A and B are shown apart, each in its own frame.
Chain A
């Protein structure tokens, strides 16, 4: 028998890590029993402070202090958050000051997933049909933010092509041909990864990472990213580190929810 706590078979499952900004904001440390988190969905131009984000109430849960936890999704995004058959979301942490177990205008935001969001597409899309420009299967996907195409970010300059060992492990730039060895940027790149600056050239089989501002190894499917701790990101279409969802706490989220500048860590 299933207890009442059972919510059905999950439609998506993510691992989340907690990272606390230093110094933590006062709201994070006060009334900790009121902390709640949920997935918020919205249009690509949604902002944290304009009320356009829609809380998926079936994902609302108390926030515990565990460093790592598994986040299950049991429903597709609410209909009002869907646009053209897809939706963009982020896991947001708030303090339920009004005690209604829902986000409201008086509940302060105290954290959000850093640089990563959730993409849901109701049907499989080719690269041409995909909102990200990368072929994507129906369902939920974790994607790097900001999403270049949806956010209307400028494309990298068209330079001459070049060959580079994109995505290969490295310790120093000299191992990456015309590129450089990226160990830590906006994300931590485990074991280092060869990337190419747009100022150098445009490597073949590359994808653009607006988050890091470099060309990375391109991928079409998960098996294209063979290195451990790397995944195929459907937002960029490239192999990126897979730390799971990182909850960056302590810094009050503000500005554009999906198209803002990368969060500093």
Chain B
């Protein structure tokens, strides 16, 4: 049934594609406000604005043939439709009408600021209008009822050769953001609705599957469908865009020409190999300009000039670029510098599918005096760490030996110690460094061996320690890193009470010491 509701009459498979007619009119409607009992949308009006802009920039629709209605009521939309029908006049093979809507709706009508415009009326106005080519794009809940498609699949490459005496496109088509009965969702992260965002990104170039510098309606729908299903699949309500194509003509219907003289001076961002790309304005925390997943290498995306942060998401690493897109110029990621995000930093990076990473560490450290008279003690630490998204778990083995040579009647001795510790850290990543804050808990066994002819038997004991941990790591490349760590440590142990050189008793005490270490990490 995925293809049962197909209404496509065919597009010629000849190489020449059909462009939008010279006189193409666009009515873009965006309403954040629906019925009184509906939660206002956040991005419907900006969606309409974005669609109208991209169609003017790359679709060639002139500004005086573009009507943008934001937060309009049903009567206003009716008047606009009437005005457009009048402006288009009698049916002309060189005319087209695009109607785009983003806002609230139900299975039967658009919800326009407390008023309603029935689907049947809207469809009738457009389908029966004077323009030769009529296209409706509806981004609203349960809009699939407009295409009378209850669940659709991606548009197939179904083509029918039509007689050559119909060289220009004509007919009626509908694209909807979801199937009948499905909700259409907005994404705070994208700053738009799922469907409109991917449709606009596709029209900007991400959908140019065959690399011919043109984005056809079929390509745009295919791209928007796949990306909408993927994006909405992460939510509780997956949505499936639908279509009903009733065109006649030759070749695919081209919505945008990516090589069109750029009256509006867009720039081109040329991507790299097929993968997921998140493109943000200005910096890494800026609003998402586009989230695309082109199917071919070196896909070109048309963007307004400006600075962008581009994150290319590959399975085992992210590449992050900071580029400037200039008007009428192409910026290629292949030649742009980038930062690789791998291993543990990739695990922690938002949007990564990598769930864990692990690695080894070897370090030397110094620990403050825990036994009076021994001074600062050097340590050797070997560790293993498992990096998860919210935190990192580590286990480490610490060893130390200190030889104390004393005089004045005291005894030379050697103190050996072996400890096992668990660490729990939480990291924050910056371009140059990763900083971790955490806690450490350790159990250790130690032994004192006295070098003397006196009655001074060897001593053994166990200690427990706990404390805070602060670490700074810097990548060196090839999975290696440099780690500086340290912190305060409370050491609990049983200690001899010594008066005038002789032990008079013992006590369990806690000693606060500081420690610091420098080591190498190796991510596996």
Contact = CB atoms under 8 A, between A and B. Distances in A.
Interface of A: 1-11, 13, 57-61, 69-72, 74-75, 101
A101 B407 CA distance: 11
Interface string B479-521: 0000000000000011110111111000000000000000000
Nearest first, the 8 A-B pairs at minimum CB distance are A4-B373, A3-B372, A8-B454, A7-B501, A58-B409, A9-B455, A8-B456, A72-B502
B374 A4 contact: yes
Contacts, number: 94
B459 interface: yes
B406 interface: yes
A2 B503 contact: yes
B409 A60 contact: yes
Nearest to B417: A1
A5 B373 contact: yes
Interface centre among A4, A13, A69, A70, by most chain B C-beta atoms within 10 angstroms, is A4
B500 A61 contact: yes
B409 A1 contact: no
A14 B498 CA distance: 16
Interface stretch (B185-193, B238-246, B445-453): B445-453
A1 B493 CA distance: 8
Nearest to B412: A4
A72 B415 CA distance: 25
Contacts of B468: none
Contact of B409 (A7, A9, A11): A7
Contacts of A69: 500
B411 A6 contact: yes
Nearest to A69: B500
B456 A1 contact: no
B410 A1 contact: no
A2 B496 contact: yes
Given A3-B371, A7-B411, A7-B501, 9 more contacts: A1-B370, A2-B448, A6-B411, A6-B503, A7-B410, A7-B502, A8-B450, A8-B455, A61-B409
B404 interface: yes
Contacts of B450: 8
Given A7-B454, A9-B454, A58-B409, A70 B371 contact: no
10 contacts: A2-B371, A2-B459, A3-B373, A4-B373, A5-B373, A6-B456, A59-B409, A70-B499, A72-B501, A72-B502
Contacts of A74: 409, 454, 501-502
B495 A6 contact: no
Contact of B408 (A1, A2, A60): A60
B498 A75 contact: no
Contact of A75 (B371, B406, B454, B499): B454
- Which of the listed residues B410, B415, B494 has the most CB atoms from chain A within 10 Å of its own CB? B410
Interface in B432-467: 446, 448, 450, 452-456, 459, 461
B372 A13 contact: no
B410 A4 contact: yes
B448 A1 contact: yes
B461 to A, nearest CB: 6
Q: Which of B454, B456, B494 has the most CB of A within 10 A?
A: B454
A197 to B, nearest CB: 42
Nearest to B453: A75
Contact of A3 (B408, B446, B454, B495): B495
Given A13-B502, A57-B409, A101-B408, A6 B496 contact: yes
Contacts of A72: 500-502
A220 to B, nearest CB: 28
A9 B456 contact: yes
Interface string B358-386: 00000000000011111000000000000
Given A57-B409, A58-B409, A60-B408, A5 B454 contact: no
Contacts of A11: 454-455
Contacts of B415: 1
Contacts of A4: 371-374, 404, 406, 410, 413
Contacts of B494: 1
A2 B502 contact: no
Given A1-B415, A74-B409, A6 B501 contact: yes
Nearest to B499: A70
A75 B454 CA distance: 7
B465 to A, nearest CB: 13
A2 B373 CA distance: 10
Contacts of A61: 409, 500
A40 to B, nearest CB: 15
B402 to A, nearest CB: 10
B281 to A, nearest CB: 61
B418 to A, nearest CB: 14
B459 A1 contact: yes
Contacts of B455: 8-9, 11
B417 to A, nearest CB: 10
Contacts of A60: 408-409
Contacts of B410: 4-7
Contacts of B503: 2, 6, 9
Nearest to A4: B373
A71 B374 contact: no
